[in-house]
Amino acid sequence: MSEAITHNGIGHAAHHADYLEDPKGLWSWLTTLDHKRIGLMYLWSVLTFFLAGGIFALLIRLELLTPKQTIMTAEQYNRVFTLHGTIMVFLVIIPAIPAALGNFVLPLLLGAKDVAFPRLNLASLYVYWTGALMALSTLLLGGVDTGWTFYTPYSTTTGGGVTMMVLAAFTLGFSSIFTGVNFITTIHKLRAPGMGWFEMPLFCWGMYSTALIQVLATPVLGITLLLLVMERVLGVGIFDPQLGGDPVLFQHFFWFYSHPAVYIMILPGMAVISEIIPTFSKKTIFGYKAIAFSSVAIALLGFLVWAHHMFVAGMSLFAGAIFSFLTFFIAIPSAIKVFNWIATMWRGSISLEAPMLYAMAFLLIFTIGGLTGLFLAALSTDVHLHDTYFVVSHFHYVMAGTSLFALLAGIHYWWPKMFGRMYSNKLAPLACALVFIGFNATFLPQFVLGSRGMPRRYYNYLPQFQDLHVASTVGSWILAAGLFLAAAYLLASFRGPKNAPANPWGGRTLEWETTSPPTTHNFEGQPVLQHGPYDYRANPAPVGVHEHSH
Amino acid sequence: MNWFRDYLLPRGGATHAGDVDGLFMFIIYLTIFFFFFNGALIFYAVKRWRRRSDREVTPHITHDTRLELIWSFIPLVVVMLVFFWGFKGYVRAWVAPNDSIEIVATGKKWVWQFEYPDGTRTLNDLHVPVNKPVKLVLHSEDVIHSFYVPGFRLKRDAIPGRYTELWFTATEPGVQQVFCAEYCGKGHSDMLARIFVDTPEQYETFLREGDEQVRKMPLKDLGQLVYENKGCATCHSLDGTRGQGPSWKGIWGKVHTGTDGKQYTVDANYIRQSILQPQAVVVQGFEPIMPTFQGLLREREISGLIEFIKSQE
Ligand SMILES: [Cu+2]
């Protein structure tokens, strides 16, 4: 690290207030180009939709308390689970970590002032809001009852606001692409002097892999959804056999995006965990390159396995074999990551603060989610389990559970940096335990429901399934209680003073070297990397922000 | 550990269920093992290396190639084993034996219709003989459905505009639940059917006399069912309009002239003959195009048709 590049700071930075205060006013937020503010606005939006999607989830669970009608009609039920799925996938999980946390921390981790294209960043937020409004407007258009997968020819023939919902997903895709383009460029161009690719925090590798998928796969979804709209509105026969189309073609197109999209949902979570575990183990990450490359491997392999969603849709034996075979390879980088994280804790100095608790819960949830994927990758067992509650449970573990725990871990980790405040550490273990127990109580019974033959998206069910449904519904209440508790103590921290130190956890990455919360330009001057991101060796070289040193 | 398998899976009722169950339980144990293995490692690490002072110094271990190769290689071996096991089961369930009984299953919102080789049709109740291979040819008349028999560990989509196939050999007499597994709208969760796995004698009776539903049906209703299902409706109307064949409206008891110039009264024997030997008497003004239904209709169905024609006033 040469000394020469350390001298380009802005000397009068001390006069700047933190980014939350400077400048003030709603308008300044709505027109801001600051990645931190955009990240926060994303965060609050995502959390709001998470609340909405969560309420729909609770309604679904309540309806399933009894085998026949409990609180709503079949038509309402179908609309509610569609809204739950669409909101959670497109409005919550996909943007949650990249657009909310990623926006906030990525430039800080890289030692940059902002992302590469701040205006594009703001545009992505507005596109997101537009898409969200479009999605919600379907409520006024008679609702949508297709499920978030929009399978044809059901989706091209049913009534309601399907066209609007599909256009909403199309629009939301653009906000995702904007974020992806921005992150790729930022990582290529704005790394601090001295930060080579392998000195980047692993979060950045996770974001990079995610962004690759966002940029490469989302256009396919966009095209598919447009074709769907053309069929619905103009009657062009593409998917509907009545019009000479092929309904299975839609599934290929849809999963060509949506399978990689599953990794848009999990890779960012893994990225967060890769930051938290070294910090709270006070030990360098074990197998940096293995973790970095396994993210890229998962992203790339993710493009080759889409048809494992279609083993019972009449595909050929050969195609089935190929897609099953390739799917199993995803297990390897996933296993590598888990073992690397555990090895990082090994002989560490482990402190069980809130972020670490959530991260450990993530490890266990991901273990279950990953291993239950084997049932569905294997051809003969998938035939039995496909489209049952087993699948519902599996993808809630790998997409919802991991995203949830990683998001909570990340929020707890960066909360002091985002808001300059510490939250009560007393309630965090209780909340984490409730969320963990609630999540497992909700979804473990669903594995058994599925293996016993209960299909998904069922409004009525046979009485023999009731016990397990009741257990699952009770679990959803515990889960909700845990989340409300976490929200309560996090929000309560706003009543206290801004007392967070710059580096409350002893992290070694660059975001901890600026104030909490940071100033608008992140750092006073250009930070220069003095050591690797997880270097906890004794007496490391002095680090941090270098102002004019002459 | 059979109780555990029986807790997780419905009782297997087809030849390849055992194969699927073996793999299923293998992965279950794998999952449980690795969950507790990882859990134990994490628990141990936390117990053993919990931070006691902020000045603790940790070793700088960046990687360990040998260890990393081991924990990449072991999962690789395990997943390849699972792949081949799953593939083997899938292949076995792929090609139906040549001597399979072929039954066409049609899904439509929100019923399953079955058509047997002899033309018999049933709704939501499928009859199959025990220990005989049965091949289902699936398709759909509207949206995608999926024919799912948990007890057979089998599922296949029914798709509009193409045929898919499924085969099984049921191993014990009894009833199997069938679900629609692909979301198809309002009645999706009520799109249930049952498979009656019959003993050879029960199956014989079913083929001879129809299923219980049909056996209990009043003759006139049975006649109407046959009229709609066996193609009579394509040539004979009920409202007096002339089709390819004469309308059935009000013909009971009337006198018709044949192409041979003789007079015939439409009664039970005449109708019976018209169905079984249509060319024996051809009504004047019509072509002799009616096919014979000899061997295609059951005795009771013919009686039903007679009752039905009688009731068309
Ligand atoms: Cu259906």
In angstroms, rounded to a whole number, what is the distance separating the alpha carbons of residues A202 and A295?
Answer: 9
CA gap A459, A76 in Å, rounded: 10
Residues A203-217 have a mean pLDDT of 94
Question: Mind listing the pLDDT tens digit for each residue in B221-233?
Answer: 999 988 987 888 8
CA distance A549 to B41: 47
Does the pLDDT value for residue A19 go beyond 70?
A: yes
Taking the centre of ligand 1 as the mean of its atom positions, its distance from the CA of residue B109, in whole angstroms, is: 6
Residues of A in contact with B157 (CB under 8 A): 312-314
Mean pLDDT of B132-147: 95
- Interface test mutation site (partner B, options A374, A452, A508, max chain B beta carbons within 10 A): A374
Q: Report residue B130 as tokens.
A: 């025990």
Question: By the 8 A CB rule, do A370 and A334 touch?
Answer: yes
Task: Give the model's confidence band at A242: pLDDT under 50 very low, under 70 low, under 90 confident, else very high.
Answer: confident
* Interface contact flag, B49 A338, Cβ < 8 Å: no
pLDDT over 90 at A48, yes or no: yes
- How many helices, marked H, and strands, marked E, lie in chain A? 19, 0
Which pTM does this prediction carry? 0.87
Residue B156 banded pLDDT, cuts 50, 70, 90 = very high
Q: Do A151 and B144 touch (CB under 8 A)?
A: yes
Residue-wise pLDDT for A266-283, tens only, equals 999 999 999 999 999 999
What pLDDT, on the 0 to 100 scale, is given for residue B44? Answer: 97
* Residue A120 banded pLDDT, cuts 50, 70, 90: very high
- Give the tokens for residue A515: 């104030």
The pLDDT confidence band at residue A11, using thresholds 50, 70 and 90, is: very low
Could you report the per-residue pLDDT of B77-106, keeping only the tens digit for each?
999 999 999 999 999 888 899 999 999 999
Regarding predicted confidence, which is higher, A548 or A362?
Answer: A362
Q: Looking at the complex, does the CB of residue B77 fall below 8 Å from at least one CB of chain A?
A: no
Residue in B61, B156, B157 nearest the CB of A286: B61
Mean of pLDDT values over A211-216: 93
pLDDT over 90 at A314, yes or no: no
Q: Which tokens in the block code for residue B5?
A: 């398998």
Instruction: Determine what percent of chain A is predicted with pLDDT higher than 90.
Output: 78
Pick the more confident residue, A527 or B295. Answer: A527
- Residue A448 sits at the vertex; the CA angle it makes with A443 and A449, to the nearest 5 degrees, is 85
Confidence band for A404, pLDDT divided at 50, 70 and 90? very high
- Residue of chain A nearest B178, judged by CA positions: A453
Its ipTM equals: 0.90
Structure tokens that stand for A241 in this block:
């056999």
B311 Cα: distance to centroid of ligand 1 (angstroms) = 37
- pLDDT band for position A1 (50/70/90)? very low
* C-beta of residue A92 within 8 angstroms of C-beta of residue A49: yes
A2 pLDDT higher than 60:
no
Q: Confidence band (pLDDT; 50, 70, 90) for A3? A: very low
Give the CATH fold of the B217-310 domain: Cytochrome Bc1 Complex; Chain D, domain 2 (1.10.760)
Interface list for B 5-34 with A (CB within 8 A): 7-10, 16, 19-20, 23-24, 27, 30-31, 34
**Shortest CB distance from A379 goes to which of B57, B80, B87?**
B87
Q: Domain B101-213 belongs to what topology?
A: Immunoglobulin-like (2.60.40)
Q: How far apart are the first and last CA of chain A?
A: 18
For residue B70, pLDDT over 50 is answered with yes
Local confidence band at B1 (pLDDT 50, 70, 90 cut-offs): low
A66 CA to chain B: closest CA distance, Å? 14
B-chain CB neighbours of A458 within 8 Å are 188-189
Q: Give the integer Cα–Cα distance in Å for A59 and A62.
A: 5
User: Among the listed ranges A27-31, A366-370, B39-43, B56-60, which one has the minimum average pLDDT value?
Assistant: B56-60
Provide the shortest C-alpha distance from residue A267 to chain B (in Å).
19
Residue B241's Cα: distance from chain center in Å? 38
Domains and CATH numbers, chain A: 3-513 (1.20.210.10)
**And the tokens for B38?**
């990882």
Give B154 to chain A, closest Cα distance, Å. Answer: 6
pLDDT at residue B29, rounded to an integer: 96
Question: A433 CA to chain B: closest CA distance, Å?
Answer: 15
Nearest to A370 by CA among B75, B55, B70: B75
Distance CA A519, CA A429 (A): 31
Average pLDDT over residues A330-349: 94
Distance B164 CA to ligand 1 centre (A): 15
B57 contacts in chain A (CB < 8 Å): 349, 536-538
Residue A269 tokens, joined: 């979570």
H/E run at residue B103: strand B101-108
pLDDT at residue number B216: 84
d(CA B225, CA B301): 9
pLDDT for A387: 96
* Residue of chain B whose Cα is closest to the Cα of A148: B183
Report CB contact under 8 Å: B86, A380: yes
Closest residue by Cα to residue A371 from A323, A335, A396: A335
- Out of B159, B180, B187, whose CB is closest to A248? B159
In this structure, of A80-89, A464-473, B251-260, the range with the lowest mean pLDDT score is B251-260
What is the pLDDT, as a whole number, of residue A16? 60
Task: Write the CB contacts of A73 (distance below 8 Å, at least 6 apart in sequence).
Answer: none
Q: Is B154 on the interface with A (CB under 8 A)?
A: yes
Nearest-by-Cβ selection for B83 from A246, A290, A324: A324
Minimum-distance CB partner of B82 among A153, A311, A374: A374
Q: How far is CA A251 from the centre of its chain?
A: 23
DSSP A295-317: HHHHHHHGGG-GGGG-TTTT--H
